[in-house]
Structure 1
Amino acid sequence: MADLDTASRFDNPDAAFHVLVDAHRDLDAEASAEFNARLVLLLANHIGDLDVLRQAVAAARKAAR
């Protein structure tokens, strides 16, 4: 089983953050939520590992509490 890697893997984490923030620019709350859903599905598919996806979901849920 693979483990979720939570360390930053970006050469420039600030630039990655700005890409995500800029993607929401000019979107209302509903369009922003729909965008997030599409992005999550694309990235989950890219991961392609159900165990890692489960770990990511658990980590995100824990952080949301």
Structure 2
Amino acid sequence: MNARLNVEPNVAEPDAFYELLVDTHQDLSNEQSGMLNAQLVLLLSNHIGDLAVLREAFAIARANVAPASA
């Protein structure tokens, strides 16, 4: 299996998805929000299940994070 990460728009209702994401984080501290994000990563990674796809996603996400300022 040669699955590739789909980086094209693929959410049927992007506005509803964004609202759900924002609402899920509402009233959480930064620490709780980080924990929620970590749990989402683990749950969705398990759902994907393909290590090659996950490696690609992690690499893209990491490349899009600005380096910390010194």
Who is 1:2 aligned against?
3
Alpha-carbon distance in structure 2 between the residues aligned to 1:52 and 1:64: 19
Q: Which has the higher helix share?
A: 1
Shift of 1:32: 0.5
Alpha-carbon distance in structure 1 between the residues aligned to 2:26 and 2:10: 24
Higher mean C-alpha displacement, 5-14 vs 32-41: 5-14
Highest Rg: 1 or 2?
Answer: 2
Who is 2:34 aligned against?
33
Q: For residue 61 of structure 2, what is the amino acid of its counterpart?
A: A
Alpha-carbon distance in structure 1 between the residues aligned to 2:32 and 2:12: 29
Shift of 1:17: 1.1
Structure 1 residue ranges, 4+ long, deviating more than 2 angstroms after superposition: none
TM-score when normalising by structure 1: 0.93
Q: For residue 39 of structure 2, what is the amino acid of its counterpart?
A: R
What number of residue pairs does the alignment pair up? 65
Alpha-carbon distance in structure 2 between the residues aligned to 1:11 and 1:4: 17
Alpha-carbon distance in structure 2 between the residues aligned to 1:48 and 1:58: 16
TM-score when normalising by structure 2: 0.87
